[in-house]
Structure 1
């Protein structure tokens, strides 16, 4: 089945350009587009896309609010849930941390190369966070550097030493393949550890794991 996508942006040329680019891919199907957050929530409720490309700043309802509503509509445990990839014009955006906190799977600059946009949709649809090598990691570092660091908490005490190690590498922005190479284990073993970490900590996905690590003084 092709990856189904909804494109949300208040600029018609951006919506049309992204939609045309993605629709031209044999493994991606564009189900529709929306010009603001209100229309996006309504559209996604009807068509249940795999991925939503969501602009941050829009009229009527901003991207963060719309993303939160869309992500809440389907339980995190559902295999068919929609994932959100936030779009921004700015290199450094104060919304980054909050977007990842609510469950967005990553960030992408609007002026990213076409092949990077296509790859981002595929990565997010596969359940990965778009964290590295990408702009998202740098954005997280910039935002968290301006925040008051919290002391290390006991929130991760239920993790095994290996799971803590995997969480640390996830927070560094490493992919499953990169973590597997770092730890000299199989990629499937890494996937199992990541799944265990998310389950024990009650997190939606890898992006929230990064936020958890920074918020709890683990990075």
Structure 2
């Protein structure tokens, strides 16, 4: 039985989510916290398997809580539930180590599956969010005929590297780019060969080092997110 810690400033939302999880099949053991500091105390006492973090408005509060949880409890996956779909917030969250992002309109079935996936180390993005992030990455690539990448990387390979840097699985990358998983695997083989990388993690590190993709950006106190 999975143990879930819900972190939200909204008591009403926490109560609704708790009821949903306790009545699920199989039921989840649920605890609640209203802040990052309270969440750390619950973690110390109960050691949940996964954290469901609600990011409302302003989003800076939720993002600071994410960074706090990732710093103090890096072994516990944190799944984000977003009030509003914000492309920059999703990218920052994935770079910060979130186990996934779901928009608030997600179905109960999808939420339960995402929590189960997060508990075993899988990354989850709702289909709408994956598609939006794919468009951002594609739009940032510039003109495919003029852009030149190190070691003859193609524009598509750079897009996939950007997804890898966010921690997405092959399945999530395929869904976001509207290609098959076998095509993703073929691109990954080409990427590791071109970057002389041992694996996908090493490929991302090499790409960041070479300036192909940006390094994860820390969330600055003065940076507006809303």
On whether the aligned pair clears a TM of 0.5, the verdict is yes
What value does the CA root-mean-square deviation take over the aligned residues? 4.3
Instruction: Give the aligned partner of residue 196 of structure 1.
Output: 199
Instruction: Give the aligned partner of residue 128 of structure 1.
Output: 122
The CA deviation string for residues 20-71 of structure 1, in whole angstroms up to 9 with x for no partner, is: 1112234453341112333223323432222111112368x81211111212
Secondary structure in 1 aligned to 2:39?
A: helix
Secondary structure in 2 aligned to 1:82?
A: coil
Matches within 5 A, 1:70-219: 70-74=69-73, 81-131=75-125, 134-141=127-134, 143-144=136-137, 171=164, 174-175=170-171, 182=182, 196-198=199-201, 201=204, 215=214
Judge which range, 167-176 or 98-107, deviates more.
167-176
Instruction: Give the aligned partner of residue 2 of structure 2.
Output: 3
Q: Distance in 2 between matches of 1:58 and 1:45?
A: 27
Query: Contact conserved, 1:53 with 1:87, CA < 8 A, in 2?
Result: yes
Query: Contact conserved, 1:50 with 1:125, CA < 8 A, in 2?
Result: yes
TM-score (norm 2): 0.62
Q: Distance in 2 between matches of 1:136 and 1:213?
A: 23
- Structure 2 unaligned runs (5+)? 152-156, 186-197, 216-226
Q: Tell me the number of residue pairs that the alignment of Structure 1 and Structure 2 aligns.
A: 186
Secondary structure in 2 aligned to 1:112?
A: coil
In the superposition, relative to structure 1, how do residues 130 and 152 fare at CA in structure 2: closer, same or farther (>3 Å)? farther
Q: Distance in 2 between matches of 1:152 and 1:46?
A: 52
TM-score (norm 1): 0.64
Q: Distance in 2 between matches of 1:47 and 1:58?
A: 28
Larger Cα Rg: Structure 1 or Structure 2?
2
Secondary structure in 1 aligned to 2:200?
A: helix
In the superposition, relative to structure 1, how do residues 67 and 92 fare at CA in structure 2: closer, same or farther (>3 Å)? closer
The CA deviation string for residues 150-177 of structure 1, in whole angstroms up to 9 with x for no partner, is: x8776xx8xxxxxx79x5596586428x
